[in-house]
Amino acid sequence: MIPEVVREKPNPWRIAQSQFDRAAAYIPDLKAGIKAMLRQPKRELTVYMPVKMDDGSVEVFTGYRVHHNAVLGPTKGGIRFHPDADLDEVRALAMWMTWKCAVVGLPYGGAKGGIVVDPNRLSLGELERLTRRYATEISIIMSPEGDIPAPDVNTNAQIMAWIMDTYSMHRGFTTPAVVTGKPIDIGGSRGREAATGRGVVISMVEALRMMGETRNPEQISVVVQGFGNVGSHAARLAAERGFRIVGISDVSGGYYNPNGLDFAAMRDYVQRHPKRILEGWNGPCEKLSNREFLELPCDVLIPAALEGQFQADNAPRIRAKLIVEGANGPTTPEADDIFHDRGIIVIPDILANAGGVTVSYFEWVQDLQQFFWQEDEINKRLEQIMIESFAAVAQIAKENRVNMRLAAYIRAIGRVARAAMIRGIYP
């Protein structure tokens, strides 16, 4: 195994703004003032939260909630718990949420939240106290009508349940619609947990069709980076459709078998592992570093971990024909250009991973109406939205002779900008 190269983490906010600038240049009627507004967040909240630790000490944690844009409706976006979270990352993720909701036509703006913490170092009680304190601190800008959080990296349905309960205790009545990605028992939606991965696989199938792929799924090799919510469901659903999963990785490294991995056994192993990772997995496969893993020969590569995975240094060595971005922000603009020149198709995050926020929207609608849908109906509506959005973006790409990322941005920014111009600048 080649040792990991330490790379500088690219600044996600610089990347998000540069992606915006590139796409804005294709929208001729975008007024300078509206452009300047869309380039910045609407509001940012930083909170410092004292939390009682199990040993009796008090530790202060930093958290953020950023609303990027609320022109189309309440803001929507996940909450990330990660030691490297910072304001620029949360800003970028919030902006990407605005475009993501717009590209698939949801009546939402974009937001994101984060806490600087490694949740694996906290006990369950500490995690709950931190989450409840954060929910209280951001409740001044969170509500079912105004801003609705959801899960992201290292947060899950239980954490969403604590947020919903904390908010409800303060209001004096149960308010399920304040957060999505909740357990089904308290107003969560069927299909939400797998929704992002499901949308990724739908995008992959549409992209293969667009590329004129005619082979059977068993002949098409898929590599998935990240084995959490997005990666594990994407791998499972791709395997169910017959695709050959040859590589899976997580924070413990990469696992490769060109004949196909035993996906189900790996998933069971992770579920039993105390840290929910593949560390120690010794099924039939080769163990690789993250760097080697991304450069594996394969047809489809699905990044489903963190930002900044494809940069100018490794983009020339990527051997996939198609990249479907399950993660947010895995590709820098420099890497995008290299992929474009090399004929590698990239289905951008704001389209490919929009399945999660789409079913979050369904969850919010069900909570507000107190009327719950069957899973079949949810999956059918999700598939319809993903396929229609994909086709619309592909059409823009063809008409403007641009790649799928630019096309998705043109559609999204156009929608938000039109709404902003119709509403006008207040006062």
d(CA 34, CA 36): 5
Measured from the Cβ of residue 253, the count of other Cβ atoms closer than 10 Å reads 18
Counting contacts by CB under 6 A, is residue 302 touching ligand NAD? no
Assigned token pair, 171? 């209001």
x/- site string to ligand NAD, residues 150 to 179, per CB under 6 A? -xxxx-------------------------
Sole binder of ligand NAD in the list 23, 201, 230, 347 (CB under 6 A): 230
The site for ligand NAD, by CB under 6 A, has a size of: 25
Residue 226 or 414: which CB sits closer to ligand NAD?
226
Q: Establish whether the linkage from the previous residue to 427 is cis, with ω within 30° of 0.
A: yes
Stretch near ligand NAD under the rule CB under 6 A, chosen from 14-22, 303-311, 312-320, 376-384: 303-311
Counting contacts by CB under 6 A, is residue 358 touching ligand NAD? no
Counting contacts by CB under 6 A, is residue 196 touching ligand NAD? yes
CB 85 within 8 A of CB 78: no
State which H helix or E strand residue 287 sits in: strand 286-288
Tell me if residue 102 falls in helix, strand or coil: helix
Counting contacts by CB under 6 A, is residue 225 touching ligand NAD? yes
Q: How far is the CB of 208 from ligand NAD (least distance, A)?
A: 21
d(CA 199, CA 48): 36
d(CA 407, CA 10): 23
Tell me if residue 252 falls in helix, strand or coil: coil
d(CA 294, CA 224): 9
d(CA 165, CA 183): 12
d(CA 167, CA 392): 38
Sole binder of ligand NAD in the list 290, 379, 389, 403 (CB under 6 A): 290
Counting contacts by CB under 6 A, is residue 393 touching ligand NAD? no
Q: How far is the CB of 145 from ligand NAD (least distance, A)?
A: 22
Counting contacts by CB under 6 A, is residue 226 touching ligand NAD? yes
Counting contacts by CB under 6 A, is residue 410 touching ligand NAD? no
Q: Which residues inside 49-108 make contact with ligand NAD, applying CB under 6 A?
A: none
Residue 301 or 305: which CB sits closer to ligand NAD?
305
Stretch near ligand NAD under the rule CB under 6 A, chosen from 28-36, 46-54, 145-153, 373-381: 145-153
The residues carrying an active-site annotation are: 112
Tell me if residue 153 falls in helix, strand or coil: coil
Residue 225 or 403: which CB sits closer to ligand NAD?
225
Residue 30 or 69: which CB sits closer to ligand NAD?
69
Counting contacts by CB under 6 A, is residue 379 touching ligand NAD? no
Q: Which residues contact 10 (CB under 8 A, 6 or more apart)?
A: 307, 308, 311, 332
Q: Which residues inside 256-285 make contact with ligand NAD, applying CB under 6 A?
A: 277
Nearest residue (beta carbon) to ligand NAD: 228
Q: Which residues contact 151 (CB under 8 A, 6 or more apart)?
A: 78, 79, 157, 159, 160, 181, 229
d(CA 222, CA 258): 10
Sole binder of ligand NAD in the list 27, 47, 251, 365 (CB under 6 A): 251
Counting contacts by CB under 6 A, is residue 356 touching ligand NAD? yes
Residues that bind ligand NAD (CB under 6 A): 151-154, 196, 225-231, 249-251, 277, 290, 304-306, 326-328, 353, 356
